[in-house]
């Protein structure tokens, strides 16, 4: 376990299609976050989990976006009926839930989505 893994690294899809991204966090981290980053901007918070519980979801996130972490390990982020405005880098991060490492995010390499 060398870090946070994301798959796929790149996804090109046509408008209206559904896409799903997977994130495997660092195994001892019980907190998992999803962010979206567009060119020249900072990571924008989407949602986060403590174990399998989704604790918060951004108000900016439309109903087309859904995330799961069914067993408290890996997570999936699904975007339904993709739009061109969904084109971005989707970053996953994980952290410890408490102690000195709480809030210290380790990011994955990201999944880049291009919607044509």
Return residues touching another protein (CB under 8 A).
Answer: 33, 35, 40-45, 48, 50, 55-56, 59, 91, 97-99, 102-110
User: Which residues, other chains included, contact 96 with Cβ-Cβ below 8 Å and sequence gap of 6+?
Assistant: 28, 29, 30, 31, 102, 104
Q: Which is nearer to another protein, 7 or 44 (CB)?
A: 44
Q: Which is nearer to another protein, 59 or 71 (CB)?
A: 59
Read off the tokens for 103: 């809030």
CB of 10 to another protein, least distance (A): 12
Residue 77: exposure state from Cβ atoms within 10 A (0-12, 13-18, ≥19): buried
CB of 3 to another protein, least distance (A): 9
């Amino acid at each position: 376990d060398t870090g946070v893994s994301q798959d796929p690294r790149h996804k090109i899809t046509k408008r209206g299609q559904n896409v799903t991204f997977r994130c495997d966090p660092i195994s001892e981290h019980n907190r998992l976050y999803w962010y979206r980053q567009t060119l020249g901007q900072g990571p924008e918070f989407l949602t986060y989990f403590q174990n399998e519980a989704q604790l918060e979801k951004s108000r900016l996130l439309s109903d087309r976006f859904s995330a799961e972490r069914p067993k408290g390990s890996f997570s999936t982020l699904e975007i339904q009926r993709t739009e061109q405005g969904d084109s971005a880098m989707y970053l996953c991060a994980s952290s410890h839930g408490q102690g000195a490492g709480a809030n210290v995010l380790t990011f994955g390499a990201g999944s880049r989505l291009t919607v044509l």
